[in-house]
């Protein structure tokens, strides 16, 4: 059951990326790089594809806030 839920969550992220014209692969690479540094619910929300219309600006702000994550 947990595997099905995890798959559904990942599929949802990918489809949300597509709906927001975000490359799913690039999004997931950045997401997995940034997730270990997330501290609050607001940080998680900022990383959701539907909240990342301006992905570059979001990443710059997030990196500045959390001490410069290298890409």
pLDDT tens for 2-39 read: 888 888 888 888 888 888 788 899 889 989 998 998 99
pLDDT of 66 over the 70 cut: no
| More confident position, 52 or 31 | 31
At 55 the pLDDT is 54
CA terminus-to-terminus distance, the chain? 34
SS3 21: coil
At 36 the pLDDT is 92
At 13 the pLDDT is 86
pTM exceeds 0.95, yes or no: no
Q: Which two tokens stand for residue 44?
A: 């998680």
């Amino acid at each position: 059951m947990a595997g099905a839920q995890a798959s559904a969550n990942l599929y949802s992220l990918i489809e949300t990326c597509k709906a927001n014209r975000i490359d799913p692969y690039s999004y997931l690479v950045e997401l997995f790089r940034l997730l270990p540094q997330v501290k609050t619910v607001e940080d998680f929300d900022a990383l959701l594809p539907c909240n990342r219309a301006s992905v570059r600006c979001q990443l710059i702000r997030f990196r500045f806030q959390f001490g410069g994550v290298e890409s």
